[in-house]
Structure 1
Amino acid sequence: MQILNLSLQPKNAPATTLTAYLPDLVEPKPRQAIVICPGGGYAFVSPREGEPIALTFAAQGMATFVLDYAIAPVHYPIALRQLAEAMKMVRSHADEWQLTQIFVCGFSAGGHLAASLGTQYDQPVLADYDSAIIRPDGMLLAYPVITGGKFAHRDSFTNLLGSGDAEDQSLENQVTAQTPPTFIWTTADDQTVPAMNSLLFVEALQQAGVEVEFHLFPHGRHGMSLGTDWVNEDQGVPHATSWPQLFLDWVKVTFN
């Protein structure tokens, strides 16, 4: 496997790093790619939602990328522009790395960032990018922050916007028929980011006619990543560890 630290130089945003995990191919063949945005409430970038996720999907032959995006006190839309630049870079290497579809993946606040790209890739905030290049082919959202309304994770929006209005970045209101197909999972007893965040986004996707697969596991604390003992020490959630395979199955059915 090649591991590369790629420097991103987005316009009107600070430089940052995209770490690539490129599994060796036994024989040349197209493969899918996934750009990962770890969580952290826009206050930090969680390591356990970065490399462990990248290695899990790389082990299945995917090319994976982890974005070290901007956090507070830097505000919107800086992290979004960094993610757009990451998509542009990965897309530009599609032939060299033998990539087909490119997905964006996000956990918690990283899920908000990923879903922001999926709903705002063609909006004025990213008008200087080619929307066809930065639009994800699909999205994987894990216990995502979505809404700035009643069920908001307020700290995420404060870190993202400063004094801005959280409703402006309430993503269930920004879904259109062109939003990419989406796979979402969360847990019913998440006490940090209520499951209603995911449910509101699922409802919006369905109303727009966008393909969506949604899994609501009954138990599991917020931020559990893979749900395994490897990542969560003694707080693994065995029944929820199936989500990576469920996602891969969804990709096969939806994109192959």
Structure 2
Amino acid sequence: MLYEQFGRTELHSRLPESGTEIRLTAYARPRSGLLADGGERWAVLILPGGGYQVTAPTEGEPVALAFLNAGIQAFVLDYSVLPARWPQQLLEAAAALAFIRRNAEKYGVRPDRIAVCGFSAGGHLAGCLANLWGDGVIHETLGLAPGEARPDAAILCYPVVTAGAYAIRECFTRLTGMEKLPPELEKLSLEESVTAKNPPTFLWSTDMDATVPVENTMLYAWALRRKGVSVETHIYNRGPHAMGIATAESAGTAEYTDERAATWQPLAASWLKTLH
């Protein structure tokens, strides 16, 4: 396995500094002449959750290894959290995705097969990249053309989505430093900023999630549907928030494991492989 780590300046020379030491960790199969090594693999950029306060390790490496086992090259971004504010996190996610695309040949990845996968607040950040990959701040700050930062698919796991009735308001406050989103940041309520140019999207959550209401997932699915974006959605009846891959590999206690919820990851991997 290729296990490599990259810091801020290696991702992009123009990426602003923040109060967090960011890191992109690659978990990849080397190109060793096997049939699967023809340069056609998918890659997935994984954004752990943590309420924009931390990045949760249970939603990083265990997820990466599960995707790697499915033949998908995996990259985990430990992105900036407090005291960093928007748009720092979007810039870092965009830089990381563009980095993977620039290095597609090295990792045996097709440059139009790069997905983003986020959990909870990381799901919000993944949704921001899926919705706002063409936002002017990315080009103005990093000089990236819109296509360089666009994910080819998005996987959102029990994501924070809305700043409305089902909001996790502390996430938005930590991200922006404001109690209420001003008009220019209403796009961060993701159901408001979906466009027909969003990539195909896979969503999952549980009906029992007492931290991020399942309505967040439903609102995003409906927003995608209204814009004609292909979406696959799984709502499991059991399981708390922050299950990771929902097996013992990402769970500290048994309540975070569930045989049925754990099907999300192989379903997501097989879904990716049905795309172009």
**Separation (CA, whole Å) in 2 of partners of 1:184 and 1:107:** 10
Structure 1 match to 2:132: 120
- Name the aligned partner's letter for residue 5 of structure 2: N
**Separation (CA, whole Å) in 1 of partners of 2:200 and 2:249:** 30
Contact 1:21–1:58 under 8 Å retained in 2: yes
Structure 2 match to 1:41: 51
Contact 2:29–2:107 under 8 Å retained in 1: no
Q: How does 1:49-68 map to 2 (within 5 A)?
A: 49-68=59-78
Q: How does 1:1-256 map to 2 (within 5 A)?
A: 1-9=1-9, 10=12, 11=14, 13-14=16-17, 16-26=22-32, 27=34, 28-29=37-38, 30-100=40-110, 101-128=113-140, 129-163=144-178, 165-166=180-181, 168=186, 169-232=188-251, 233-235=253-255, 236-255=257-276
**Separation (CA, whole Å) in 2 of partners of 1:93 and 1:113:** 22
- Name the aligned partner's letter for residue 26 of structure 2: A
In the TM superposition, residue 23 of structure 1 has moved relative to its aligned partner by 1.5
Count how many residue pairs are aligned between Structure 1 and Structure 2.
255
In the TM superposition, residue 6 of structure 1 has moved relative to its aligned partner by 1.3
Percent sequence identity over matched residues? 38
Corresponding residue SS for 1:238:
coil
**Separation (CA, whole Å) in 2 of partners of 1:175 and 1:124:** 16
**Separation (CA, whole Å) in 2 of partners of 1:98 and 1:234:** 37
Corresponding residue SS for 1:70:
coil
- Name the aligned partner's letter for residue 127 of structure 1: H
In the TM superposition, residue 239 of structure 1 has moved relative to its aligned partner by 1.4
In the TM superposition, residue 12 of structure 1 has moved relative to its aligned partner by 5.0
Contact 1:38–1:106 under 8 Å retained in 2: yes
In the TM superposition, residue 96 of structure 1 has moved relative to its aligned partner by 1.9
Greater shift in the superposed pair: 190-199 or 25-34:
25-34
Unaligned runs of at least 5 residues, structure 2: none
Unaligned runs of at least 5 residues, structure 1: none
In the TM superposition, residue 127 of structure 1 has moved relative to its aligned partner by 2.6
Corresponding residue SS for 2:174:
helix
Contact 2:62–2:249 under 8 Å retained in 1: no
Contact 2:41–2:109 under 8 Å retained in 1: yes
**Separation (CA, whole Å) in 1 of partners of 2:130 and 2:88:** 16
Contact 1:39–1:45 under 8 Å retained in 2: yes
Contact 2:46–2:116 under 8 Å retained in 1: yes
Contact 1:8–1:85 under 8 Å retained in 2: no
**Separation (CA, whole Å) in 1 of partners of 2:199 and 2:52:** 23
- Name the aligned partner's letter for residue 154 of structure 1: R
Q: Given the two structures, how large is their TM-score scaled by the length of structure 1?
A: 0.96
**Separation (CA, whole Å) in 1 of partners of 2:146 and 2:29:** 28
Q: Deviations over 1:89-124 (max 9, x none)?
A: 100011222212000010000000011011111112
- Name the aligned partner's letter for residue 18 of structure 1: L
Structure 1 segments of 4+ aligned residues over 4 angstroms from their partners:
none
Aligned-residue RMSD, C-alpha: 1.4
Greater shift in the superposed pair: 57-66 or 134-143:
57-66
Q: Given the two structures, how large is their TM-score scaled by the length of structure 2?
A: 0.89
